[in-house]
Structure 1
Amino acid sequence: MKKFSGLLLLAVLSGVITLGAYKMLFEKEIYVVDQKQNQPTFVATSFNTNPVAAEESVDFTLAAEKTVHAVVHVKNLTISKGPTSIYDFFYGGSGNGKAQIGSGSGVIISPDGYIVTNNHVIANATELQITLNNNRTYEASLVGTDPETDIALLKIDTDDNLPYLVFGDSDNTKLGEWVLAVGNPFNLTSTVTAGIISAKARDLNSRDQNFQSFIQTDAAVNPGNSGGALVNTAGQLIGINTAITSQTGSYVGYSFAVPSNIAKKVVEDIMEYGSVQAGVLGIKGSELNSYNAGELGINETEGFYIDSVMEDSGAEEAGLISGDIIKKLDHIKISKFSDLSGYLKSKRPNDVINVTILRNGSEKVLPVTIYRNQSYKIDLLGLSVQNLSDKDRKKFKNYSGGVKIVESASYDLVGKLIIEINDEKVENVDQVKLAMQEAKRYDRLSIVLINENGERERLIFQ
């Protein structure tokens, strides 16, 4: 047994020695190298060696400091009319009315207390109250309003010079430009959000005849910020925040502002004339796109196609004709109708603008004088009216004033004159516009009409 164990041990030792000798003399050593990349595993999106330099170069502090003290809280008190109890409902009483309080923001635009805000912020208000960023409160008076552009002008009286913002040139703003939206919602003192300009000349209501031309931004704007300031990084006022697009009622990424050039013009008109002085080129037509271009048999897909030119208009006087395509108004490129309508809203009658047109493949520049808008659409009644021409005055020789009905959606009134609204005489479309704005404050509207035979009739709308 001992002899067998000795032989086994000898065999094991011999095997170990033989294997070790083979490893040392014949088998090559294999090395495994862990090769590490010198480049990072992410892909760089910029060659900027300092990724925060771009953000640091945009300083919002100066613009914010200039703006916050010029943005105010606007509170309006409205007394709702109509029955306030079951007894009033059945027996016709109006009760004492129910007080409703609304709020928004506003922007001080002069040291003596003129404030611009949205018309919808102060609509139908019986009392207006302004709270500054330092928590001082003032009673405000309504100077004037323009529902079409949603701009209203207020005034507070104070012996102190107030902080205010200067108007910038909204036409010179660029896509991608940094902006601040400043509001004073819910009387929480001014709040500031930042974003960029996402689009210009944006029309939100394509089915309405009242075409809009908003600046679109992604700066956060929420309810209560309406009427606040949109400013550039220099602290210049380039827009009045007006609307958001949302299915929830809260901000979801899109907000819209009335361009400062339009707001400034409206404010100046209200202060000087008491109403907005609207001007027109005197053309009718449509914006171009692929479909319209195909229908018209032309290759252009951008611009405004002139279908007809109105008689005795600035366009006719300047030589614009049917078939011309408007490509520019002054330095503003016209790609869609809101580009054209927005620029015209910043102009007033007797202004002269250079209109670049494309005619028979060649561009021409024609100076066109803006004429006063002679027509107005009364949406509440489904009527369109216009000022009397010399021919109309001869036909209605016994009446020097009034406006002629040229379109009537629900009534057979075309050709008749409106001479009174709520017992106040009207002689032109500007007076009709003001009368209709005043009529919206009440539940009653009456108009007095005259036909060619001089017969009067009164229509009452409840």
Structure 2
Amino acid sequence: MTPTLTNRTKSKLTAALMAATIASAGAIALPTSAAFAVPAGGYADLVDSVTPSVVFIEVTEKAMPASAESQMLQQFQQRFGGQMQIPQQNGPRTGVGSGFIISAEGDIVTNNHVVDGATEVKVKLSDGRSFDATVVGRDPMTDVALLRITTGESLQAVKFGSSDSIRVGDEAIAVGNPFGLGGTVTTGIISAKSRDIHSGPFDNYIQTDAAINKGNSGGPLFNSDGEVIGMNTAIFSPDGGSVGIGFAVPADMVKSVVADLADDGSIDRGWLGVQIKPMSEEVAAVLGYDTPKGAVIESVQPDSPAAKAGFKAGDIVLSFAGQSIDTLRDLPRVVAGTDPETKQHVTLLRKGAEVELEVTLGHLPKQDA
């Protein structure tokens, strides 16, 4: 079952359960004169080179009572405004998604929403063979999941590129299984970076106009060198189909989360212990800023790392661990991505003067996730 979400403007944000014989990417060196052109002959070589690294994922979820199913869907619709059909009978629910192999030993990355609630997960390779998969770990906050299969042989893994170094306008190639049609390749460009689609506290999506539809979730987004720069996750659409606005989790974030999941199946994030709010236009004008910046501390939790370090309500965080805090959402993302129990330098603005503090981060409580 694939949920279709709507945002506050009544357009639908679809976090699709997707499938893929995803294919795309292989290193093609373009001469300078062809830097803005599609490779001669198209992307066939790219597609052929990565096909063995892309997989289909089939999941089975435990059946729930019809009353519980109905209540769940009604709550979902009230929250997101999506239109969903309520099943007429009980029975196990199935779904499909896609993923990509990241190690020769059989580690596979996909979206958390593809395997969330699954009682059985099967991975189908591009050559048609199917294997039972183990869910090593999941991270709902970034929608990343790590699976593992055992095949008795070395598998071809994808290569990661740097999502931080991509530029708006760069080529993007998405591959997936839209609407169950089979492996499909679409191309476009990077339309924007650092998109916040209000799906979680660490939103930092890549936006692309490469067509992404229901059936593509968990599949890779490649650059023109055949490197994975993102994982296709959601679309913004008035009717559930692609209108050229798709979103992918950045590869740099995927790599970081997967490395943490591989240890013990869970994520250990840094914790500061503050409530924050954005700087108002009025405060920005008084401080002489052209636009609001930083994160304003609204309150400090007692006995938290922030309290012990001397944070106060009204402080404005300008930088943390050497990274500039330009917007409100920068702070939770940087803090969560920093190892707990490490000492970090913080620059604050307090009553018009800069203040330097050092804080030793705690562990983000599991229930906060």
TM-score, scaled to structure 1? 0.58
Deviation at 1:180, TM superposition (A): 2.4
Q: 1:54 aligns with which of 16, 19, 36?
A: 36
| Cα 1:182/1:352, change in 2 over 3 Å | farther
| Cα 1:52/1:129, change in 2 over 3 Å | same
CA contact (8 A) 1:70 1:163 kept: yes
Q: 2:107 aligns with which of 103, 114, 125?
A: 114
Deviation at 1:234, TM superposition (A): 3.5
CA contact (8 A) 1:227 1:242 kept: yes
CA contact (8 A) 1:170 1:238 kept: yes
- 1:303 match: 294
- 1:175 match: 168
Q: 2:140 aligns with which of 147, 151, 168?
A: 147
Question: What amino acid does structure 2 have at the position aligned with 1:157?
Answer: T
- 1:266 match: 257
| Rounded Cα–Cα distance in structure 1 between residues aligned with 2:39 and 2:324 | 30
Give CA-to-partner distance per residue, 1:236-270, whole Å, 9 cap, x none. Answer: 33322111011111111211122233333332333
CA contact (8 A) 2:142 2:200 kept: no
- 1:285 match: 276
1:99-110 correspondence to structure 2 within 5 Å: 99-110=92-103
Larger Rg: 1
What value does the CA root-mean-square deviation take over the aligned residues?
Answer: 3.4
| Cα 1:226/1:361, change in 2 over 3 Å | same
Q: 2:197 aligns with which of 199, 204, 210?
A: 204
CA contact (8 A) 1:78 1:125 kept: yes
Unaligned runs of 5+ in 1: 1-49, 85-95, 378-432, 434-462
| Rounded Cα–Cα distance in structure 1 between residues aligned with 2:226 and 2:360 | 34
Question: What amino acid does structure 1 have at the position aligned with 2:127?
Answer: N
| Cα 1:69/1:185, change in 2 over 3 Å | farther
Deviation at 1:271, TM superposition (A): 2.3
Deviation at 1:158, TM superposition (A): 0.4
CA contact (8 A) 2:346 2:357 kept: yes
- 1:160 match: 153
Deviation at 1:372, TM superposition (A): 0.5
Question: What amino acid does structure 2 have at the position aligned with 1:54?
Answer: F
Asked which structure has the greater RCO (Cα within 8 Å, sep 6+), the reply is 2
1:253 aligns with 2:244: yes
CA contact (8 A) 1:79 1:97 kept: no
| Rounded Cα–Cα distance in structure 2 between residues aligned with 1:373 and 1:270 | 15
Deviation at 1:160, TM superposition (A): 1.7
Question: What amino acid does structure 1 have at the position aligned with 2:51?
Answer: V
Give CA-to-partner distance per residue, 1:127-165, whole Å, 9 cap, x none. Answer: 222122222222222222222222222111101211112
TM-score, scaled to structure 2? 0.71
Question: What amino acid does structure 1 have at the position aligned with 2:145?
Answer: A
Secondary structure of the corresponding residue to residue 248 of structure 2: strand
| Rounded Cα–Cα distance in structure 2 between residues aligned with 1:211 and 1:291 | 27
1:135 aligns with 2:128: yes
| Cα 1:139/1:375, change in 2 over 3 Å | closer
Q: 1:70 aligns with which of 53, 60, 66?
A: 53
- 1:412 match: none
1:82 aligns with 2:44: no
Secondary structure of the corresponding residue to residue 76 of structure 1: strand
Q: 2:340 aligns with which of 327, 345, 349?
A: 349
